[in-house]
């Protein structure tokens, strides 16, 4: 393997981060740079990239609630959006073809429909990475976006099956019996420990009964990995398994972004064609906003979901590859779509960083488009008059709640954006409500409560804690704020923001252990000054 395959993406990712862009922009640039330097590494990169995508979908399945796919705002938006985008994009491309512009004048009507279909997809890889980095994977807008993406994946599977002209093997019916193996798989998962065996178990599940088995019966391997993740969801160790596979998935996905640039250096005509198609991106984004508002989601939820989906997809490349393989399109269109996908990522990445500012600008202009009554999960939240708020009710937030509630009984309120966590805490007697601390509208509802003296930011995402602190200090809140951190640079960022105190969770764990040890020591040892 050429060392430049590792060195180039690392250096360009560091440059991207230095100028305030996400590292994936560096990976995309590295793919084009490597190909331009004469390094064609697709034979090596494609299997690694495929592995990254399979692990990504397997991880989604581990966290997926199937009920989310049955919600109107998910299947209704996904279906309506795809039909409208395919129709409108096809009309616009047909107009460009009639004008004889660029590569468009060579397209027939079936080819135009195929191209319109490829443009309708949003990137699962990009969206999941964005949601994971912001800590919003389980937020309402995050769950809605993921549900829409999975519906799009299902549409892609149907298209690819039809385009091959070969139906799945009759043996595919055997896959319907896979749920019967769930108890056995759960026992194996429980016996896999917490180290490399658990990671190996996850890899085997994603790649063998998932990808390989589905591929063997003529179904898409990606679908197999997703369904195997869903099959294992709900086990006590599914979250731990997802976290164990996280770094492997992230590393392998670097290869995915490199492969986009490895499609070849485009000609000037291909670049102008890609830029022309890129002008359809605002239409795609605005249509998502409009449809989600139609299903009674708030403006912020609709906007953030649309922004997550406001890009073009790797599935577009897969659709184009299938069309080229059957002679439906010229090979030059693969480079056009690859370049268009890369451009859409270059636009979407900084927009994601600026999302809160853009939303605040849009709010007074578009808030009247919200339909009432709002979606049940998007209703205003009433928290009463607590003195202490804890954002993030995981293990750390729960422990903080219990300790603070002992001293301030009935005056502590926990807040989390995961419905299942809120229900568990309520069943255990804690006061907790569903909410998202990074949602500026949510903070607007809390600010008028002058009873709040202390806010604890215990969310697992540093970016989530940082953004919540920023929203808080831009409000009229005058009380104290404390937050958790993992690393020294995170501590500096929060202190600079104005947070009054921060606690390193690793250091605090050591201090807590020492306190517990001292409590169990005999009185004679406690009084020994040498200890």
**Is residue 530 domain-resident?**
no
| Residues 357 and 384 grouped into a single domain | no
Q: If you average pLDDT over residues 84-91, what whole number do you get?
A: 94
| Residues 224 and 170 grouped into a single domain | yes
**Is residue 406 domain-resident?**
yes
| Among the ranges given (55-59, 377-381, 466-470), the one the predictor scored with the smallest mean pLDDT | 377-381
Domain region containing 261: 4-369
Quickly state the pLDDT bin for 90 (edges 50, 70, 90): very high
**Scanning the structure block, which residue is given the tokens 């994977």?**
137
| Residues 328 and 279 grouped into a single domain | yes
CATH number at residue 192: 1.20.1530.20
Q: If you average pLDDT over residues 389-394, what whole number do you get?
A: 91
Quickly state the pLDDT bin for 260 (edges 50, 70, 90): confident
Boundary-marking domain end, from 369, 393, 408: 369
CATH number at residue 440: 3.40.50.720
| Residues 261 and 352 grouped into a single domain | yes
State percent of the chain over pLDDT 90: 25
Question: Torsion over CA of 191, 197, 200 and 201, rounded to 10 degrees?
Answer: 0
CA 401 to chain centre: 28
**Is residue 303 domain-resident?**
yes
Local structure of 236: helix, strand or coil:
coil
Indicate whether 162 pLDDT > 90: no
Structural domain count of the chain? 2
Indicate whether 293 pLDDT > 70: yes
| Residues 38 and 187 grouped into a single domain | yes
Indicate whether 530 pLDDT > 60: no
| Residues 324 and 452 grouped into a single domain | no
More confident residue, 363 or 120: 120
Provide the pLDDT for residue 441: 60
| Residues 124 and 151 grouped into a single domain | yes
Quickly state the pLDDT bin for 208 (edges 50, 70, 90): very high
Q: If you average pLDDT over residues 62-78, what whole number do you get?
A: 85
What is the number of other CB atoms lying within 10 angstroms of the CB of residue 179?
12
**Is residue 416 domain-resident?**
yes
CA 183 to chain centre: 29
| Residues 232 and 188 grouped into a single domain | yes
Quickly state the pLDDT bin for 522 (edges 50, 70, 90): low
Indicate whether 527 pLDDT > 70: no
Contact call for residues 330 and 336 (beta carbons, < 8 A): no
| Residues 157 and 180 grouped into a single domain | yes
Closest to 244 in 3D by CA, of 189, 316, 287, 187:
189
State percent of the chain over pLDDT 70: 91
Query: What average pLDDT does the chain have?
Result: 84
Q: If you average pLDDT over residues 428-444, what whole number do you get?
A: 78
Indicate whether 152 pLDDT > 50: yes
Provide the pLDDT for residue 427: 93
Indicate whether 178 pLDDT > 60: yes
Contact call for residues 144 and 292 (beta carbons, < 8 A): yes
Boundary-marking domain end, from 318, 350, 369: 369
Indicate whether 440 pLDDT > 50: yes
Provide the pLDDT for residue 120: 93
More confident residue, 60 or 264: 60
**Scanning the structure block, which residue is given the tokens 């581990």?**
62
Quickly state the pLDDT bin for 12 (edges 50, 70, 90): very high
Q: pLDDT of 316-326, one tens digit each?
A: 777 787 777 77
**Is residue 319 domain-resident?**
yes
CA distance to 177, 210, 230, per residue, from 190 (Å): 22, 19, 17
Long-range CB contacts (< 8 A, 24+ apart) of 157-166? Answer: 157/219, 157/220, 157/222, 157/223, 159/117, 159/319, 159/322, 160/220, 160/318, 160/319, 160/322, 161/218, 161/219, 161/220, 163/322, 163/323, 163/326, 163/328, 164/322, 165/326, 166/218
Phi first, then psi, for residue 455 (nearest 5°) are: -125, 125
| Among the ranges given (116-120, 154-158, 328-332, 516-520), the one the predictor scored with the smallest mean pLDDT | 516-520
Boundary-marking domain end, from 369, 402, 418: 369
What is the number of other CB atoms lying within 10 angstroms of the CB of residue 69?
16
- What's the pTM value of the predicted model, to 2 decimals? 0.73
Provide the pLDDT for residue 448: 45
Indicate whether 282 pLDDT > 80: yes
Q: If you average pLDDT over residues 205-234, what whole number do you get?
A: 88
Phi first, then psi, for residue 31 (nearest 5°) are: -60, -45
Phi first, then psi, for residue 115 (nearest 5°) are: -65, -40
Provide the pLDDT for residue 164: 62
Provide the pLDDT for residue 516: 64
Contact call for residues 361 and 40 (beta carbons, < 8 A): no
| Residues 365 and 384 grouped into a single domain | no
**Is residue 529 domain-resident?**
no
**Is residue 493 domain-resident?**
yes
| Residues 385 and 335 grouped into a single domain | no
**Is residue 528 domain-resident?**
no
Top mean-pLDDT range of 128-132, 249-253, 307-311, 355-359 = 307-311
More confident residue, 131 or 308: 308
| Residues 156 and 49 grouped into a single domain | yes
Contact call for residues 230 and 217 (beta carbons, < 8 A): no
């Amino acid at each position: 393997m050429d060392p430049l395959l590792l060195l180039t993406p690392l250096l360009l990712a560091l440059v991207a981060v230095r100028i305030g862009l996400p590292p994936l922009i560096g990976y995309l640039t590295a793919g084009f740079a490597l190909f331009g330097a004469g390094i064609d590494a697709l034979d090596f990169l494609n299997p690694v990239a495929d592995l990254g995508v399979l692990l990504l979908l397997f991880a989604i399945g581990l966290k997926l609630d199937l009920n989310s796919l049955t919600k109107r705002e998910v299947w209704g938006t996904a279906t309506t959006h795809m039909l409208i985008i395919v129709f409108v994009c096809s009309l616009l491309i047909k107009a460009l073809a009639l004008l004889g512009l660029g590569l468009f004048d060579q397209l027939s009507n079936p080819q135009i429909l195929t191209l319109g279909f490829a443009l309708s997809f949003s990137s699962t890889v990009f969206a999941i990475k964005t949601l994971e980095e912001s800590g919003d994977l389980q937020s309402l807008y995050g769950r809605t976006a993921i549900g829409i993406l999975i519906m799009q994946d299902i549409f892609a599977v149907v298209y690819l099956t039809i385009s091959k002209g070969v139906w799945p093997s009759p043996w595919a019916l055997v896959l319907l019996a896979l749920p019967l193996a769930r108890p056995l798989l759960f026992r194996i998962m429980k016996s896999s420990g917490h180290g490399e065996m658990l990671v190996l178990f996850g890899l085997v599940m994603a790649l063998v009964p998932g990808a390989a088995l589905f591929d063997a019966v003529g179904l898409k391997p990606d679908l197999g990995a997703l369904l195997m993740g869903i099959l294992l969801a709900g086990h006590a160790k599914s979250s731990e398994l997802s976290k164990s596979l996280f770094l492997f998935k992230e590393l392998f996905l670097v290869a995915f972004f490199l492969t986009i640039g490895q499609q070849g250096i485009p000609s000037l005509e291909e670049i102008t064609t890609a830029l022309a198609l890129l002008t359809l991106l605002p239409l795609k984004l605005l249509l998502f906003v409009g449809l989600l508002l139609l299903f009674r989601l708030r403006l912020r939820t609709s906007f953030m979901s649309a922004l997550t989906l406001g890009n073009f997809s790797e599935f577009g490349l897969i659709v184009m590859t299938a069309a080229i393989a059957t002679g439906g399109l010229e090979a030059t269109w693969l480079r056009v779509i690859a370049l268009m996908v890369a451009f859409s990522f270059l636009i979407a990445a900084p927009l994601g960083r600026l999302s809160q500012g853009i939303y605040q600008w849009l709010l007074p202009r578009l808030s009247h488009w919200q339909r009432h009554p709002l979606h049940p999960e998007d209703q205003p939240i009433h928290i009463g008059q607590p003195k202490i708020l804890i954002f993030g009710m995981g293990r750390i937030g729960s422990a903080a709640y219990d300790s603070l509630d002992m001293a301030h009984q009935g005056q502590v309120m926990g807040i989390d954006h995961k419905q299942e966590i809120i229900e568990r805490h309520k069943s255990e007697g804690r006061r907790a409500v569903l909410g998202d601390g990074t949602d500026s509208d949510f903070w607007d509802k809390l600010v008028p409560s002058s009873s709040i003296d202390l806010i604890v930011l215990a969310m697992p995402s540093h970016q989530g804690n940082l953004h919540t602190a920023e929203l808080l200090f831009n409000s009229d809140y005058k009380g104290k704020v404390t937050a958790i951190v993992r690393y020294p640079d995170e501590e500096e960022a929060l202190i600079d923001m104005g947070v009054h105190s921060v606690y390193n969770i690793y250091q605090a764990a050591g201090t807590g252990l020492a306190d517990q040890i001292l409590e169990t020591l005999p009185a004679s040892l406690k009084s020994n000054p040498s200890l």
